[in-house]
Each structure stands twice: as C-alpha cells, then as structure tokens.
Amino acid sequence: MKSLKYVLAFSAACAISATTLFAQRSSSAVQTVTFSVKRSHSLAELAVQQQVAENSRFVAGRTNALSPARMTEGDRIVAQDVKVSMSESVHRSTGIDVVLAPLSSPEAPGNASSSRAHKIVQSQTTDFDSSPFQTRTTFPSSDQVVLTITK
Amino acid sequence: MGARAYSLLLISLLFPLAALAQGGSSVTQLLTIEVKPITKITVNGNPGSLVVVDPTSGSDVSAVSDHNTRYSMLTNLENMKIVASINESMPAGTKLMMKLETTKGTSDGLVDVSQAVTPVNLVTGISRGSDLNQTITYAFAADATAPEIDSGSRVITLTLTD
C-alpha cells in the first residue's frame, strides 16, 4: 500500500513536470486581422450587343448606335433588342440594380414594374448558372436608353 | 630554568596543533543550478484594416498589404521556429498571407495562412538569442470570385516553439 502511494506521487510529479516543461518551450502571441472586399459599382462594365435582324445573331458594336460596346453608368445607347453581359464583378455584387430605361419616357430607374424600364438584374443574392451573366431585353421600339446602376 | 624548559616543551608540542588549525577548515556544499528553457514572443498590436476594392476579373487578383506591426522574440533554445495559425479559414476567393522578418532564423517568405487552421511555418532554424522589432507583413488578396465583404476578421496566433 505504501509503495502504491509512492508510485502515484511519482506519477503526479512527472505529469506536472512535463506540463511545466511544455509550457516553457512554447510561447504565443495573437493578432486580429480585419479585412473587407469593396466594389465600386461605377466601374462596373456591361457588354452590350444588339441583334442583327438578318441572321438573328447578337453582335457587339454592330452599329454606331451601340458605340461604345461596353457601357458604364450613365452611358446612353439607341437600341431595341439588346443583350447585356455583366462582368463577373457586377453580378457577384449584392444589392445593386442595373436598369436600362428609355430616355423618351423616363421612369424611376429602380422601378422594375414599369413596362418600359427594364431592370436587368437586382439584388444578386442567388447564384447564376452562366458566367458572365447575360440577359436579353427588348424595348417596344428603337429608342435611346440610359443605363443606371444603383445600390 | 626548569619552568622555562617546560614552557618551551609545551609550546613545541602544541605548535603543530596550532599550525593545523590555522591551515584551514573546510566544508562542502552541493550547489544545483538549472537554466529553464526560455521562449517568449510578443507583438505590438494589430495590423490596419486590409481593404481590397474592385477585384479584377479572371485569374488576376487585387492585393493590399500592411507592414505596420512588429514582433519580438527571445529564446535560449536552438533550432526553434515560429508558426502561424488562423482561427477560421478565409472566405472563398480571398487569400491572407504573412511574412516575418528575422535575423536569428530563416524566413519562409510570404506564406499563405488562409487555410492554416493547423499551424504553418513562417520562420525556421531559429538559434539562441533575441530578435527585436522585426516586421510582420500581411497581404490580403481577392479575385473576382470573392463576395463583397463589408467587414471580416480573423485571429492569427504566432507561436514560438520547437
């Protein structure tokens, strides 16, 4: 019984010693890193194509009316049947509205229910199957439209 | 004369004893000394916020870096290393990288710690001594697949160990 006590005491001493040794052979310091990813929507680019009637193909910059073929906020084009390709950075952004609205009857840019203002994309909270995201928009007649990006 | 002769005899007999006593008295002590392993690492604060604006498309990445924090370390052990771990993996499309300057070991350069839930080496082969106020570099990168992040944070643990 007495020898068992010695064994237990020795084991406990070894365990404490090992813990102390480990603690002394290692030292730690901690830093907190903060980060963010921001997107400037005014730099978002949209590639705009207009359908060429004779072969039903969408061609970028097919007519002068589509110049520039790449649009940024505030750019105006004359178009009736357009296809818009959004850059990856645009369609991965959250909470933005991209609207093409005719200048002849200006609507509130964010009013998606308007029959003439075409909200291209809104609140990108879902995943898109294609990249870059594309959508096709048809206006009642060939008209000058303005691109608006809002958040 | 007889008394003087006795005195001289007594002195001559006691002299060796006196001489022995004056020759020294010694005791011994057993002194046990021990130098414990010493490891110490400190940092001087947190890096500034790392902000990437408008990650570019394709395989290109936009990156920012911070060099404003320092670390100091002290050890009396040989062949030590500094490792880093992160409390949670970085979001998809982003990378967090670290580099530690050193004069006592070999820096592994800019090391990706984005997924380092288990520690990764930053400095190896550290010899005995101290390294004071060495620069910590953080680099944060994001590509076009990264989501918009208003504010994220991660805790980085630097460990001096063997």
**For A73-122, what is each residue's pLDDT tens digit?**
555 555 555 665 555 555 555 555 556 665 555 443 433 333 344 455 43
Q: Which residue has the tokens 């006795």?
A: B6
Nearest CB neighbour to A36, from listed B42, B49, B56: B49
Distance between A41 CA and the closest CA of chain B, angstroms? 9
Mutate to test the interface with B, among A21, A32, A33, A41 (most CBs of B within 10 A): A33
The values of phi and psi at residue A8, to 5°, are: -65, -45
User: What's the complex ipTM?
Assistant: 0.79
pLDDT at B47: 96
Query: Is residue B23 predicted with pLDDT exceeding 50?
Result: yes
Give the bridge partners for B50, in sequence order: A35
Q: Do A33 and B138 touch (CB under 8 A)?
A: yes
Nearest CB neighbour to B94, from listed A37, A88, A92: A37
Q: Do A35 and B152 touch (CB under 8 A)?
A: yes
d(CA A111, CA A118): 8
Q: Do B149 and A21 touch (CB under 8 A)?
A: no
Give the bridge partners for B69, in sequence order: B136
pTM for the model stands at 0.57
Query: Is residue B118 predicted with pLDDT exceeding 90?
Result: yes
Closest A-chain CA to B64: A35
pLDDT at A90: 53
User: Where do the domains of chain A lie?
Assistant: 41-150
Residue A26 contacts by C-beta under 8 Å, 6 or more apart in sequence? B39, B159, B160, B161, B162
Interior CA angle at B37 toward B36 and B39, to 5°? 135
Cβ(B40)–Cβ(B161) under 8 Å? no
- Please name the fold of domain B39-161: Immunoglobulin-like (2.60.40)
Q: Which residue has the tokens 């979001």?
A: B91
Residue B106 — very low, low, confident or very high, per pLDDT cuts 50/70/90? very high
d(CA A28, CA B132): 15
The amino acid sitting at A27 is: S
Distance between A22 CA and the closest CA of chain B, angstroms? 9
Instruction: Calculate what percentage of chain A has a pLDDT beyond 90.
Output: 7
Q: Indicate the DSSP class of residue A143.
A: E
Residue B105 — very low, low, confident or very high, per pLDDT cuts 50/70/90? very high
Give the bridge partners for A36, in sequence order: B51
Closest B-chain CA to A93: B148
Mutate to test the interface with A, among B56, B57, B68 (most CBs of A within 10 A): B57
Q: Do A33 and B46 touch (CB under 8 A)?
A: yes
- H/E stretch holding B53 reads strand B50-53
Q: Do A34 and B49 touch (CB under 8 A)?
A: yes
Q: Do B142 and A37 touch (CB under 8 A)?
A: yes
